[in-house]
Structure 1
Amino acid sequence: MSLAGRHAVAASLVFASPAVLAQSRYNLQSPVTGVAAQIYDMHTLMLLICLVIFIAVFGVMFWAVFKHRKSQGAVAANFHENTSVEIAWTVIPVFILLGMAWPATKTVLEMKDTRDPDITIKATGYQWKWGYDYLQGEGQGIRLVSNLSTPRTQMDGQAAKGEHYLIEVDKPVVVPVGKKIRVLTTASDVIHSWWVPAFGVKQDAIPGFIRDAWFRADKEGIYRGNCAELCGRDHGYMPIEVHVVSPQAYSQWVAEQQAAMAAAAGDSTREWALAELVERGEKVFAANCVACHQADGKGLPPAFPPLDGAAIVRGDPKAQIDVVLKGRPGTPMAAFGALLSDADIAAVITYTRNTWSNKTGEAIQPSQIAAAKGN
């Protein structure tokens, strides 16, 4: 069934206008992968089967009530164990279930066929962001952390909400059109779920386990999803954004990312001035820490302690470095050692030690972070 045909069937089911359906407000998102198209068709088929059953059952019931009402002198029949009826209402549902199970089984088997990918990406769920590692194929070695990019002013109601409110990120996943992408999912803290409806992909990310899914996008564009597993306080603030681009554009993006990684490696070996670290640290803090510790450093006690005036921030830097690198088990404090570069960690620690009422005057260098990691 064509995409236009699917929309026409859906429109007849929900009595919605084509314009509304185009916005996917009352239906599934328009599929851009073969698996998503199968899911769409199967969803439509199941709704049609349910509609036919509904009409048949309630049609017979209302006809029986109307035709055999007491005012017409109807007398209730007295019978027991009609073998033909019992066979019919057993056999017919079996055939209905088989008719529904056949396309569902075919789709599930294809969803699980992750063999021979062109590119493999590991998606790691964190509270509350996604980390991506390109493990195989063009772009191997690229790593990025994808944070919600909706401004805090919009979230706090201080500014008008943008078009992509709460479903936009600072660093999207980029993949080439027409290539098979295998996605390995895992998590560092609690269960998350990587869900992009237009791809027909929804795979749980479980700490200590590797699950996998795949997609092959047939159309260039920007596709959005969310974490679909309740994962804590900011569950609604970890969207997924995938850019499907041409092979040429993808190769250019890969080159840009590799150049940026090389520059970041250089950042981690040079000596930084205090002002440079504070300026960079402010941006890192805004992207990774502000949701819990707040822009004023006061936090949200007791779950999220303040950094302004905190002993660990004003004391020995080794203790703060250790917490940032390893996190705090049993608390929402994530381990940022694998999430941020040495330069970013040094910058954000320097920022917190020289902002608000904290005025240590210390510049934490990337070399100190590398030494704490044992590099």
Structure 2
Amino acid sequence: MGMAWAQGRRFGRSFVRGAAVAATLLTGGAALAAEAGKPVPWQMDLQTPVTEVATEIYNFHHLLNVIMLAIVLLVLALLLIVIFRFNERAQPNPSRTTHNTMLEVAWTIVPVLILVAIAIPSFRVLRTQLSDPKADLMVKVIGHAWYWSYEYPQEVGGFKFDANLLEGEDQVKSGQPKLLATDNEMVVPVNKIVKIQVTAADVMHSWALPSFGFKIDAIPGRLNQFWFKADREGTYHGQCSELCGQRHAYMPITVKVVSDAAFQAWTAEAKTKFARVEGAGKFADAR
């Protein structure tokens, strides 16, 4: 009796958790979504997207949730039908049917249609990610063990700076999330196409920013590239997403998106604050 009661309680808790997840999926998780730029406690949804790529990934994610929920409910309904309609009490003389042409056609065609429904938006996301629009600004990102450095081209000053984890009182005063704030932020203008060229100086790293919808590897001796256009101002946080060594957990990324006027003011200050780089602006060819 005690074992049955314990199993019943476990089933009840599982059912409640499942119902909560289903409700989140059906509502798009709006109430539990992380705000743009950083995670929040008890987050169940993706961070609010602020780029075209992130928005398409966000919508695709919820489409997949709806499809998966529909499949689960269909399988559950079929199981219940089998349990209650075809048990020994309901049908003491079981049917000897072994084939059903319509069913066999249906369970072949329906999965194909599901895959097509998944493939079309998936290809759309890939097309957006791999498109190569003309850049308004180029920034080079270099991963080190264990910090990031950023290099800006001659057009905006030709300077370079490091971004290290902000700790202790400095982090508290900044008001930024713990383990996600840096002493220097990468600053870019809003509604401008920014291309990032990413590499590493020692081991593999990965530059990831959830609200921007990307994660790109930083590999020594290689140059990877991606683009984004942030559609709102703000401060956005990410982390190295490649297990790169002892202080892997302490390689945060902070990107500050500002207005054109604020960006011009920041670059004017950065020219004197940060070291100039000889030959800065030597980026790989990009449209």
Root-mean-square deviation (CA), in Å? 2.7
Query: For the Cα contact (< 8 Å) 1:201–1:214, is it kept in 2?
Result: no
What is the distance in 2 between the residues matched to 1:60 and 1:85?
A: 13
Written as runs of structure 1 = structure 2, the 5 A alignment for 1:80-229 is 80-135=98-153, 138-151=155-168, 164-229=177-242
> 1:85–1:245: structure 2 CA closer, same or farther, 3 Å change rule?
same
- Per the TM alignment, residue 95 of structure 1 is displaced from its structure 2 partner at its CA by 1.1
Q: Distance in 2 between matches of 1:189 and 1:213?
A: 21
Q: SS of 1:72's equivalent?
A: coil
From 49, 56, 67, the counterpart of 1:49: 67
Identity %: 39
Dislocated runs of 4+, deviation >2 Å: 14-24, 71-87, 151-154
Pairs within 5 Å for 1:52-91: 52-91=70-109
* Other-structure match for 2:245: 232
CA-CA distance at 1:72 after TM superposition: 2.2
Offset, 1:65: 1.1
Alignment of 1:16-31 (within 5 A): 20-21=32-33, 23=35, 25-31=43-49
Aligned residue pair count: 249
SS of the residue corresponding to residue 71 of structure 1 reads: coil
Change (3 A) 1:149 1:13: same
1:132 CA drift (Å)? 0.9
Q: Please tell me whether the aligned partners of residues 114 and 182 of structure 1 are also in contact (alpha carbons under 8 angstroms).
A: no
Quick one: distance in 1 between partners of 2:176 and 2:270?
27
Q: Flag structure 1 segments of 5+ consecutive residues without an equivalent.
A: 1-9, 266-375
Equivalent AA in structure 1 for residue 167 of structure 2: T
Q: Secondary structure at 1:29's aligned position in 2?
A: coil
Q: What do the CA deviations read for 1:191-248 (whole angstroms, capped 9, x no partner)?
A: 1111101111211111111111111000000000011111111111000000000000
Q: Report the Cα offset of residue 43 of structure 1.
A: 0.5
Residue 204 to residue 76, structure 1, CA distance change in 2 (3 Å): farther
Q: Does the 8 Å CA contact 2:145/2:202 hold for their aligned counterparts?
A: yes
After TM superposition, the structure 1 = structure 2 runs for residues 337-356 of structure 1, keeping only pairs within 5 Å, are none
1:35 to 53, 63, 84: 53
Q: Structure 2: which 5+ residue stretches go unaligned? A: 1-21, 277-287
Whose strand fraction is larger, Structure 1's or Structure 2's? 2
How far, CA to CA, are the matches of 2:47 and 2:267 in structure 1? 29
Deviates more, 1:73-82 or 1:199-208: 73-82
TM-score w.r.t. length of structure 1: 0.61
Q: Compared with structure 1, are the counterparts of its residues 230 and 173 closer, same or farther at alpha carbon in structure 2 (3 Å cutoff)?
A: same
Greater relative contact order, per chain length (Cα 8 Å cut-off, separation 6+): 2
Larger Rg, first or second structure (1 or 2) = 1
Deviations, residues 248-298 of structure 1 (Å, cap 9, x unaligned): 00000000111224xx57xxxxxxxxxxxxxxxxxxxxxxxxxxxxxxxxx
1:35, CA displacement in angstroms?
Answer: 1.1
